[in-house]
Amino acid sequence: QVQLQESGPGLVKPSQTLSLTCTVSGGSISSGSYYWSWIRQPAGKGLEWIGRIYTSGSTNYNPSLKSRVTISVDTSKNQFSLKLSSVTAADTAVYYCARVGRLTTGYYFDYWGQGTLVTVSS
């Protein structure tokens, strides 16, 4: 059973960089059948796709966040990470990591982390 767990600071100051890591267990992040993705959800609002990474390191980001987002992967640790720069209060949200399928595995989010709340405040 694949499990994902987000970790990182729960409080970030405005204008600083938000950094989160997702640790994958029960499966290899190097599996060629999946992408690895970040999604966020402000309180009381809907889900927003942030971006994804493939084991090769190739990435794709939400155009609305692209200038501030970097997703990276560390296959040796079976982890992938999110960095979001120049944060404001609007970036306060629960951040989820998730596994997402590719062509042979349905292009859908099948395993999710439990989510971690990140608050942007001074």
For binding to another protein (CB under 8 A), which residues are involved? 35, 37, 39, 46-49, 52, 54, 58, 60, 62-64, 96, 100-102, 106-110, 112-115
User: Shortest approach of another protein to residue 33 CB, angstroms?
Assistant: 13
Dig out the tokens for 25 from the structure.
């267990």
Nearest to 108 by CA among 100, 99, 118, 119: 100
Nearer Cβ to another protein (15/119): 119
DSSP class of residue 16? S
Element (H, E) at 81: strand 79-84
User: Shortest approach of another protein to residue 118 CB, angstroms?
Assistant: 15
Nearer Cβ to another protein (87/113): 113
Nearer Cβ to another protein (16/41): 41
Distance of alpha carbon 84 from its chain centroid, rounded? Answer: 10
User: Shortest approach of another protein to residue 110 CB, angstroms?
Assistant: 6
The Cα–Cα gap between 106 and 119 comes to 33
Nearer Cβ to another protein (49/68): 49
Dig out the tokens for 52 from the structure.
């994804």
